[in-house]
Amino acid sequence: MEKTLVIIKPGAIQRGLIGEVIKRFEQKGLQLCGMKMIQLNEEILMAHYAHLVEKPFFGRIKTAMTATPVVVCCFKGMNAVHLVHKMAGATNGREAQQGTIRGDFSMSIQENIIHTSDTIKTAQDELARFFKEDEIFDYKQSNLDFLYASDEI
């Protein structure tokens, strides 16, 4: 089973959407394996958004992502990386499909509710950036037999 990262961004924190975001993933059948609230700083933002540091809008990203603490989550499930990324919807909330998290709650490309890992490698790197090993838990999900067929798990 794959593990992936979700960051609930400051805009979602301010709007009281933490529970709604987590609820969507849990209702789908993904297992919450780690969660904490942290305040992002320049060091972690430079590492996390290394691919955007030279872009003219990077200052705006830093301002937005440090406006409040964020909630970082680790979710686990079959094809979790792809599934979570798909459930998030298009980066631009105005273009995201209704029914996705961004499609239902975002009107912006910047204030787009959540960050999700886009590949298995990225998920591994991002989880290591935001969580210590002992902050991600493996435990038996009691409803596993009702989420997957016996030959899927």
- The residues carrying an active-site annotation are 115
Q: What is the DSSP code (8-state) at residue 2?
A: E
Helices 18-28/80-88 angle, 10° precision:
130
In angstroms, the Cα distances linking 93 to 48, 96, 100, 143 are: 21, 5, 9, 33
For every residue of 46-70, DSSP letters joined together read: HHHTGGGTTSTTHHHHHHHHTSS-E
